[in-house]
């Protein structure tokens, strides 16, 4: 894949996201879980501003992300890639004569991060 050619290059955050067409949520999840490395910075102006540069922790992660992008992005958004249904669990569905509503539980983000890790490890 063409991503492998740039997988060892370092980019500022905006350029990294653009280069790999990565969403903000996916970027942050992959960064928090060690798939993206942010250990380098450079002075980028005469005022001494520091800009963090990012790269994939391992070059093959660029190809894995490109191949499973849709699934990873869905998981990060809280959607099961197999069913396209929300991870939100309906606990109770109540009906009254005027209104129907569902009591829901928000997704557990630790479970979502574990799903992302499993997708990346599976490749």
The reported pLDDT for the residue numbered 108 is 67
- Closest of 119, 112, 101 to residue 28, by C-alpha: 112
Q: Between the CA of residue 86 and those of 22, 52, 63, 70, 83, what are the distances in Å?
A: 21, 34, 27, 15, 9
pLDDT, tens digit, 9 for 90 and up, residues 32-84 = 888 999 877 666 667 777 888 999 999 899 999 999 999 889 888 877 677 76
The reported pLDDT for the residue numbered 33 is 87
**Does pTM top 0.75 for this prediction?**
no
pLDDT at 85 over 70: no
The reported pLDDT for the residue numbered 17 is 93
The reported pLDDT for the residue numbered 87 is 59
pLDDT, tens digit, 9 for 90 and up, residues 89-105 = 433 333 444 444 444 45
C-beta of residue 77 within 8 angstroms of C-beta of residue 86: no
């Amino acid at each position: 894949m063409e991503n492998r050619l740039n997988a060892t290059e370092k980019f500022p955050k905006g350029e990294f996201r653009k280069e790999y067409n990565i969403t903000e949520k996916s970027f942050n999840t992959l960064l928090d879980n060690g798939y993206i490395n942010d250990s380098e910075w450079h002075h980028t102006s005469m005022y001494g501003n520091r800009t963090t540069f990012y790269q994939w922790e391992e070059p093959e992660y660029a190809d894995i992300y490109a191949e499973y992008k849709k699934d990873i992005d869905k998981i990060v958004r809280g959607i099961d890639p197999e069913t396209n249904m929300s991870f939100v669990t309906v606990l109770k569905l109540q009906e009254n004569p005027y209104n129907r509503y569902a009591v829901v539980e928000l997704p557990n983000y630790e479970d979502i991060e574990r799903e992302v890790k499993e997708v990346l490890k599976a490749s």
